[in-house]
Amino acid sequence: MEIRYDRTGQPYKGERFFSRGKPAQCPKCESPRMVLILYGLPGPREVAFAKEGLIALGGCMMTGDDAKWECWDCHTCVWPVEWKPQ
Ligand SMILES: [Zn+2]
């Protein structure tokens, strides 16, 4: 069985959250501070935004299965729900 890791390098424990749009609050700790995860090499502006808690920096590594939002308080990641036609 394939072992999967989240973007903090921790193995998944089968807990994964999905949302259709940006979550209003964290599904785990109910914090309202959900931020967009920005992938790629950050510029000075992105680093400044991240310091203020406006975005999270996801790094350059993309797996094709990446979370889109992250809780600023407990770092729970939320994946976007893919819309599939019936
Ligand atoms: Zn949280």
| Span 23-66, pLDDT tens digits | 999 999 999 999 999 999 999 999 999 999 999 998 877 788 88
Q: Is 56 inside any structural domain?
A: yes
Å from CA of 85 to ligand 1 middle: 31
CA–centroid distance, 27 to ligand 1, in Å, is 7
Range of the domain at 67: 17-80
The count of structural domains within the chain is 1
Ligand 1 midpoint to CA 45 (Å): 25
Give the alpha-carbon dihedral of 72, 36, 3, 60, to 10 degrees. Answer: -110
Any domain includes 39: yes
The pTM (predicted TM-score) of the whole model is: 0.75
Is residue 24 included in any domain, yes or no? yes
Centre of ligand 1 to C-alpha 35, Å, is 11
Is 1's pLDDT higher than 60?
no
**Residue 4 included in any domain:** no
CA 11 to ligand 1 centroid distance, Å: 18
